[in-house]
């Protein structure tokens, strides 16, 4: 874990250049995306996981952290179709159980993480139909999921809405973040997000 602000950490993985988040309060913690590394559950014990979206590399390890709440946008579906996507990258079978969200929201919800405010926002479809932005106001940190990528271009799959992506990033920037944590790559600043090319945009 790398501390990027007081009580706010990122976990960097060489595999797929994945970046997870960890937010701590007084006796409580929240994990941003469960990723694919089940061994991480031996190091941390979050009471909640927030899934920024349902792509396999962001959700497959959720089972290892149970029992905990699993938060996501109401349109986030975790089912066996994700294993088909995983099969494009890995030959070995997935040895685990997929875990669906236990708590959902539509637009915005505020969570209390040990006395610390954490806001979850959905600003509309972009990378997926159900992207979640996780904002830690007192730290000036935003976890953007795959709305933002560093080190490689952001990706637009068949479930993306490139025409709305810039508008979603504009809403993210209205949160006035000092640090934006991408779903893949190292943390960036607001200027990086302003200049980021939108994949598939005309």
> Domain map of the chain by residue range?
2-195
Strand-strand pairing, 19-25 and 8-12: antiparallel
Average pLDDT over residues 114-119: 98
Average pLDDT over residues 83-87: 91
Residue 200: predicted pLDDT: 78
What's the CA gap between 95 and 92, in Å, rounded?
A: 9
Strand-strand pairing, 141-149 and 103-105: unpaired
Q: What pTM did the predictor assign?
A: 0.96
Task: Convert the pLDDT of each residue in 163-193 to its tens digit.
Answer: 999 999 999 999 999 999 999 999 999 999 9
pLDDT band at 202 (very low <50, low <70, confident <90, very high): low
Q: Which CATH number fits domain 2-195: 1.10.287.110, 3.90.1150.10, 3.50.50.60, 3.60.15.10?
A: 3.60.15.10
Q: What percent of the chain has pLDDT over 90?
A: 95
Task: Convert the pLDDT of each residue in 33-77 to its tens digit.
Answer: 999 999 999 999 999 999 999 999 999 999 999 999 999 999 999
């Amino acid at each position: 874990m790398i501390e990027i602000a007081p009580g706010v950490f990122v976990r960097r993985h060489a595999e797929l250049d994945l970046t997870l988040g960890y937010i701590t309060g007084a006796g409580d913690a929240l994990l941003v995306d469960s990723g694919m590394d089940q061994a991480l559950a031996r190091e941390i014990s979050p009471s909640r996981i927030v899934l920024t979206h349902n792509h396999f590399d962001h959700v497959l390890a959720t089972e290892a952290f149970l029992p905990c709440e699993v938060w996501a946008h109401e349109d986030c579906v975790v089912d066996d179709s994700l294993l088909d996507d995983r099969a494009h990258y890995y030959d070995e079978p997935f040895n685990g159980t997929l875990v669906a969200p236990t708590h959902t929201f539509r637009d915005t919800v505020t969570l209390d993480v040990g006395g610390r405010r954490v806001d979850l926002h959905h600003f509309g479809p972009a990378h997926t139909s159900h992207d979640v932005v996780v904002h830690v106001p007192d730290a000036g940190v935003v976890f953007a999921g795959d709305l933002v990528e560093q080190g490689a271009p952001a990706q637009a799959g068949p479930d993306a809405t490139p025409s709305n992506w810039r508008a979603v990033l504009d809403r993210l920037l209205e949160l006035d973040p000092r640090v934006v944590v991408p779903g893949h790559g190292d943390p960036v600043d607001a200027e990086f997000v302003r200049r980021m090319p939108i994949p598939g945009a005309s």
